[in-house]
Amino acid sequence: ADTMTVSLSQRRTESLKSALSKMESTTKSAYRCADQLASRAGRLGSLTGPASDASSMLSHANANLAATLILMRDAREKFDTLSDCEPAIDRVHRGVLTLEDRTNRAKGEKAADAARAALPAAQRVNLTEQDVYAAGDSMEILRDAYRYFAQRTIWRAAPSTLSSLERLYKMGEDSMSLLISLHLKGAGQGAKPQRNKPSISPAVESAEQTRDRLNNALQNRDLLKNIGEYDEYQPLEARPIREIRAIFECLTSYGYNLGPAPKREPSGLSAIFGLQPQHISRTEKVGSGCYNKLTKIELVVGFPQLDAYGMARREIAYSSMDAYYRRLRRDRKAGSEKSGKDPKKSTSFLGSQKNQETSIESGEADAAARDAVRCLEHAMVIIAGEKNVYRTIVTPSLNKTDDEDEEEEDLSPFYKKACVASYAYVVGSVVDRALDIIETVFLKEGGIGQTSGSSTSKEAPATLTVPEAYSAAAAGLRMLDGVRMLGPSLAKLCEMNVGDNKTESNTSISAVLCIAIHRTTVKNAARTLENLAKAIQDDPMKGPLHRPKNASVSSVSKDVVDAIRSISPFVSAYKSVSKRRALPWDPNMGEDAGEMDSFVRYLVMRLLNSLKGKALDYTRDGRDDSQAKAHIFMINNAYYLLEELGNDHSDDAQQQEQQKSDADFYRISGSWFDDKVNKMMDSEKKKYLEHWEALNTHLTAVDNNELEFLKNDAKTLSHESGRLIKSRFSGFNESFEKTYQLHKTLCIIDARLRLSLQQEVTSVFVPRYRRFFEKYTKVKFSKKHQGDYAKYSPERIEEMMGELYVDPEDE
C-alpha cells in the first residue's frame, strides 16, 4: 500500500512538471508572436504617418488659399477706392469752385486763386445736395481704406496708395471746408432790422431813460426784441444747413489727417483759451478797427470744418458790427451838418435864472458815447444771432447717437473744446470791435491822451478846456453805465462750457475781452474824471473869458456847474470807478470808496481855489478898482453857485424828485456846500462894503461950539464955520463920485443879487448922509455956492445907487 501511494505521488509530480514545461514553451511561443505583432504594427505605423501629415497639410493649404482669395478680393476693392471715390470728390471740388466763382462775380470781385478763375466751362458743375452726400460717403470710404493700408505697410504698393488716398482726401476736405465758408458767408449776419419800428436817430434819451430801457430789456426773457434796433435772425436756409451738417457729420473729429483722431491737444487752442484779463491790452493802432491782434490771427483749432466755420462767421460778425458803427458815425455827422453845428465843438452850459428853462447841450463826446453804448447793445444782438448759427450747424455734431457709441474711442477728446474755441473766436471779434469803439471814444472825443489846463508853448500837447473835460467825463460815465448794465449779459452770451473739467469757460478770448471792456472803461473813465478836476484847477487866471473885466460870473463857474450836472446822473457808474480805482480825492477802494458827493465836493473846492486865484489876480493890476473888482467877482460867483447848485429847501416832493432825476435841476444836498459858499460870500461882501464905509468918514458932525453964525443973520454961518461944513460936503462929494464911478463899471447879472447889494451899500452910508444932509442944509454955510456943495440929495444918491452894477446889455 505504501508502494502504491509513492508511485501515485511520483506520477502526479511528473505530470505537473510536464504541464509546467508545456506552459513554459507555450508562453515563449506567445511572446514570440507578440513581438512579431508589435514589429509588424510598427512597420504599419511608419507607413500610415506620412499620409496623415500630407492630409493635414492639404487641409491647411486649402484654408490658406481661401483666405488669400478673400484678401485679394478685399485688397482689390481697396485699391479700387481711389478710382471709385475720386469722381464724387472731384465733382464736389469743381462744384464748389464754380459756386465760388459765381459768388465772386455776383459781388463784382475777382477770384482769389488764378487757378479757380481759369476753370474751363466744361468742368463747371452745378453742385447738388446729393453731390455733397455722395462726397461725404466717399470721404468715409477713403478713411476706411487708409486704415486698411496703414496696417499693411509691408506691401510694396502700400506707401504710394496711402499718398494717393491722402491727396484725394485733402482735396475733398478743402472743398468741403470751402463750401462751408461760402454758405456761411453768403448767409449774412445773424440779425435783421426790426419791422414797423423807426430807425433810432442819434440818441437823445437821458441817462435815466437809458437805464430804464435797458433794465426792462434785461428783465424780459426775450431780450433782443427790447434792445437796440435789430432782432436775432437765422440767416441760413434749409439746404445749406443740411449740407453743412452732412459735412460736419462726415469730417466729425478726425482733424486734418486721415489717421486716427488726434490724442494731443491742437496747438491752436492755446491762442483761444488760457488767457488772463490783465494781459489783454491794445496791440493795434487806434482807428484800425481792432483792439487786440488775437482776434485777427488765423483760426487753427485742428479741425478743418471748425476752422472754416470760425473764419467765415468771424468775417460776417465783424463786418456787421463795423458797418453798424460806421452808419452811426455817418448819421451823427449828417445830423451835425444839418443842424449847422460844429460836430467837434462842445457847447457849455450858460447858467440859468429862476423860472428860466435850462438845458445841457450834447457835444461830440456825448454823442460818440451814446453811439458806443448803442454799439454795445448791437453787439449783444449779433452774438445772440451767432449763437443761434452755432447751435444750428455745430452743436448737432456733438450729439452722438447710440449707434455711434462703439466709435467713441476714435473721436478726439478735444473736439468739443475746438467747437467752443471756434465760437469764442467768432464772438470775440465782435466784443473786440466794441472794446475798440469804446476806447476810441475815450482817446479821440474824450481826449484822455491830452493834458488839461493852460499851455503857452506851441510845442506843448493839446490841452483840454473845462467844457471839453466835463463832456469827456460825462461821456465816460455814460459808457461805463452801459457796460455796467450790459456787461454781465454780454459775457453770458459769449460763455460756453467745454465740459472737460479742465478748461474754464471764462478764460476764452471772448470771455476775457468782456472782462477787459469793463476794466478798460473803468480805467479810462477814472482818467476823464481826473482830467476834469485838473482842468478846473489849472483854468487860466487871465483873459476876458476867464477873468471878466466887469467882475461878473467867470466862465469856469458856469463850466463847473455844467460839469456837476452832466456827471450827476451817473451815480452808479461813478461808484464802479471809485470801488476799483484809487482817486486823488478818494484813495479808498472797495466798500470804503466814496460816493459821487465826494467828487462833487472836490470839484467845488478846486473851483473856489481857482476863483480865489482869479480874484487875487485882479488886485495885481494896481488899479483903483482892483480890490472892489476882486470882491464883486467873488460875490457874483458865490451867488451864482448857490443859485444853481445850492439846496433850495423846497417842501415840494415832486420838485425834489425831479431834482434827483433831471440833471438840469440837480442840487447839492449836503449842508457843507451852502455853509462854505455862504461863508465865502458873506466875507467878500463885508470886505466890499468897507469901500463904501469910507464915505462915512466925511459925515462926522461939527461940534456946536465950533459953529458961529453972523450977528445980523442967525441962519448964516461965519466964513470959518462954513468952511468946516464945506470941507465935509466937498470931501464926501469927491469920494462918492470917485467911488461911484469906479464901482459903476462893475456888473452883477442877477437882478435879485443886484438889488440886494444896492440896498446893502445904500444902508452903509445913505442913512448917515441923509441925517447929515438934512441937518446942515438948514443953515447957510456958503453965501454963493451952497448948491455946489450940497448937490447930491439923499433921494438922488438912492436913485444913483439903483443904477449901480447894471449889465450894459440890459440897458
Q: Closest Cα to residue 564, out of 519, 525, 596?
A: 596
In a domain, 682, yes or no: no
Cβ(267)–Cβ(413) below 8 Å: no
Residue 649 confidence (pLDDT): 56
Residue 116 confidence (pLDDT): 53
Per residue in 656-681, pLDDT (tens digit) is 455 444 556 788 888 899 999 999 99
Q: Closest Cα to residue 452, out of 514, 352, 531, 378?
A: 531
Cβ(81)–Cβ(165) below 8 Å: yes
Q: Closest Cα to residue 533, out of 599, 608, 476?
A: 599
In a domain, 246, yes or no: no
Per residue in 14-50, pLDDT (tens digit) is 888 888 888 888 888 888 888 888 888 877 777 776 7
Asked if residue 746 and residue 673 are part of one domain, the reply reads no
How far apart CA 45 and CA 43 sit, in angstroms, is: 6
Cα-flanking dihedrals φ and ψ of residue 202, to 5°? Answer: -45, 125
Residue 140 burial by CB count (10 A; 0-12/13-18/19+): exposed, middle or buried? middle
Number of structural domains in the chain: 4
In a domain, 619, yes or no: yes
Residue 617 confidence (pLDDT): 87
Asked if residue 645 and residue 721 are part of one domain, the reply reads no
Asked if residue 558 and residue 481 are part of one domain, the reply reads no
Q: Which of 481, 507, 529 is the last residue of a domain?
A: 529
Residue 189 confidence (pLDDT): 85
The H-assigned helical ranges of 620-652 are: 626-645
Asked if residue 616 and residue 757 are part of one domain, the reply reads no
In a domain, 48, yes or no: no
In a domain, 577, yes or no: yes
Asked if residue 762 and residue 672 are part of one domain, the reply reads no
In a domain, 505, yes or no: yes
Asked if residue 380 and residue 313 are part of one domain, the reply reads yes
Asked if residue 605 and residue 733 are part of one domain, the reply reads no
Specify the amino acid at residue 180: I
**pTM higher than 0.85, yes or no?**
no
Domain boundaries, position 445: 277-339+364-399+416-453+473-529
**Regions of the chain with pLDDT less than 70:** 1-2, 49, 71, 108-119, 122, 195-203, 221-229, 255, 260-262, 339-362, 400-411, 449-462, 541-546, 649-664, 704-707, 709-715, 719, 808-811
The H-assigned helical ranges of 495-591 are: 509-537, 555-567, 571-580
Asked if residue 510 and residue 545 are part of one domain, the reply reads no
How far apart CA 293 and CA 277 sit, in angstroms, is: 15
Residue 295 confidence (pLDDT): 87
In a domain, 77, yes or no: no
How far apart CA 533 and CA 556 sit, in angstroms, is: 12
Asked if residue 673 and residue 560 are part of one domain, the reply reads yes
**Cell reading at 65:** 488659399
Per residue in 205-256, pLDDT (tens digit) is 788 888 887 887 777 755 555 566 677 778 899 999 999 999 998 887 776 7
Residue 724 confidence (pLDDT): 84
Q: What angle do CA 74, 77, 78 make, to 5 degrees?
A: 90
Residue 361 confidence (pLDDT): 40
Q: Which residues pair with 464 in a beta bridge?
A: 452
Per residue in 547-582, pLDDT (tens digit) is 788 888 988 999 999 999 999 999 999 999 999 999
Residue 461 confidence (pLDDT): 47
| 586 three-class SS | strand
Q: Closest Cα to residue 599, out of 637, 638, 560, 634?
A: 560
Asked if residue 646 and residue 549 are part of one domain, the reply reads yes
Q: Which of 644, 677, 710 is the last residue of a domain?
A: 677
Cβ(550)–Cβ(526) below 8 Å: no
Residue 754 confidence (pLDDT): 93
In a domain, 494, yes or no: yes
Residue 435 confidence (pLDDT): 94
Asked if residue 650 and residue 789 are part of one domain, the reply reads no
Asked if residue 769 and residue 632 are part of one domain, the reply reads no
How far apart CA 491 and CA 495 sit, in angstroms, is: 6
Residue 110 confidence (pLDDT): 57
Residue 403 confidence (pLDDT): 46
Residue 441 confidence (pLDDT): 92
